[in-house]
Amino acid sequence: MELKICHLYPDILNLYGDRGNIICMEKRLQWRGIDVTTTGVSVGEPLKAADFDLFFIGGGQDFEQEVLLPDLASGKTREIKAAIEDGKPFLAICGGYQMLGNYYKTWDGQQCDFTGALDLYTEGSKDRMIGNYSFTCDELGVTVVGFENHSGKTYLGSSVKPMGKVLSGFGNNGQDGMEGARYKNVFATYSHGCLLPKNPVLADHILKTALKRKYGQAELSPLADTLENNAHDYMVRRLSKQ
């Protein structure tokens, strides 16, 4: 078995080492003897979504997100929307999450029309929502720990569900108690960190989703996730004391 991962804008959207999620997914596949290739697709490079099984897009500053608008409009938006509707799994972090929505209005009123792949929108604010945080991943029944740093406040439309509820920190907007977004096989969250290494259950769930869609079934042998679980559990305890 093999998974082909597409890393969108790896040179531009990589705040807080979000590419660590790619490294984590590659390792968790390789440790199980599953082949994996990762291809970066950035500005000016054509995206043929049919060539990939799983997509990752990281976070970035408002400026980088604005820089990407013409490139998205040049064809990537069409490919991204088609891949999402076709059930291809996406992991989108922070700015990458926002870019899957309809628009992002910066705090000074600039409106960036994004892909519209998910029914959500973001409005910039002067508040910066920053710090370690935790939230529930309702479909897995686990707590997810991460690090958030965003001024954008994201609001979900009716066709999108949250990843879960905020336990500690701000989440999507610091108001409605929700964090992240789920639509078809899209997993979107504000969680830098990077997210996956200390949330191995979520990491494997995303990998299984991609394997199941490609091969019809997905069994991943258990890994000795002692370090990963210790890091996760340490943050759960630390955040529960706040």
Binding-site ranges for ligand GLN (CB under 6 A): 15, 59-62, 65, 94-95, 98, 149-152
- CB of residue 182 vs ligand GLN: minimum separation in angstroms? 19
Look up residue 101 and give its two tokens: 């929505």
DSSP code at position 220 = -
Measure the N-to-C terminal CA separation of the chain; round to a whole number of Å: 44
95 in Cβ contact with 65 (< 8 Å): yes
State the Cα–Cα distance between residues 153 and 45, nearest whole angstrom.
30
Among this protein's residues, is 7 annotated catalytic?
no
Residues 6 or more apart whose CB falls under 8 angstroms from that of 33 comprise none
Query: Any catalytic annotation for residue 232?
Result: no
Cα R_g (the chain), whole angstroms: 17
Catalytic residue of the set 24, 94, 112, 194: 94
Nearest distance from C-beta of residue 147 to ligand GLN, angstroms: 10
**Minimal distance in Å, beta carbon 95 to ligand GLN?**
3
Nearer to ligand GLN, 132 or 151 (CB): 151
Of 59 and 162, nearer to ligand GLN (C-beta) is 59
* Closer residue to ligand GLN, CB minimum distance, 124 or 164: 124
Which residues are known catalytic residues? 94, 192
